Amino acid sequence: MSGTELISPRALNPENLRRTDYANTLAAEALRAGLFSEADVTRIQGDMMTALAEIIGYATNGESSSVKTDSARKFAKSLLYNIDTYLLTLPTPEAAAAQLKERRMSELYGKGYLLNKKRYEDAKHLWAKVRYTRLKDADEAYNKTIDRYFRNYLAAYDPRTSAHDKIYLSMPKQGIRGAFHIDGAVEVLKKLLALNEGRPADAVVIEGSQPIAHFAKDKPEQNS
């Protein structure tokens, strides 16, 4: 019997799952519900380390199997963010748990990487269009967002090694304020493009997400 068949559609409690830490809370909930064994969790943890080593190898061009603690933490967050990105596209937590149990972490990471790579390419394309259609009489926050914050964010972003990074924005007049992952950045750029083209655009609603390292130079100044 496969891992998928063992999972009951009523076995997992969604209240114990967090979208901002999906793989970890999903594994913990599956263990609590008896769908994962301790051996399953140990296998997943070990496979995470193997996938992390692969990312480190990529980041160092295969020249090193170890990096500084801060870099290792960053790569681990990128690994988990890409895995979470893919698992969250699945229709149910049960389906996500089945993938987590049956697939290699490097495979799940790769699927999430492709999704975030597409978002990154979309963001770059949209940013170019926003710059081309920019408002001529916009305020300082608008201009800084386009010319500085998005430029720096997109230049530094890498869907392999920094998929989890955020851009911090404050544009009160445009109804945009908060910390955005790459998917949120795409939505912000869509809104800016709509505003530039004179089309109505709904305000972007920001939900809380996990705290991560950010680019200090990209964080907009806060009004006192």
Residue 27: which of 105, 100, 78, 99 has the closest Cα?
100
**Averaged pLDDT for residues 47-67:** 85
SS3 call for 150: helix
So what's the pLDDT on residue 201? 52
Distances, alpha carbon 101 to alpha carbons 7, 23, 34, 165, in Å = 10, 11, 13, 27
| Residue 174 DSSP label | G
Distances, alpha carbon 21 to alpha carbons 55, 74, 139, 150, 164, in Å = 19, 15, 37, 26, 12
Mean model confidence pLDDT for the chain: 86
Q: Above 50 in pLDDT, residue 207?
A: no
Q: How far apart are CA 16 and CA 24, in angstroms?
A: 11
Q: Above 80 in pLDDT, residue 219?
A: no
**Averaged pLDDT for residues 53-77:** 85
More confident residue, 152 or 59: 152
Q: Above 50 in pLDDT, residue 148?
A: yes
Residue 166: which of 157, 177, 175, 174 has the closest Cα?
157
Q: How far apart are CA 177 and CA 205, in angstroms?
A: 9
Length of the chain: 224
So what's the pLDDT on residue 31? 94
* % of the chain beyond a pLDDT of 90: 73
So what's the pLDDT on residue 65? 65
Q: Above 50 in pLDDT, residue 191?
A: yes
Quick: pLDDT tens for 159-176: 999 999 999 999 999 999
Q: Above 60 in pLDDT, residue 103?
A: yes
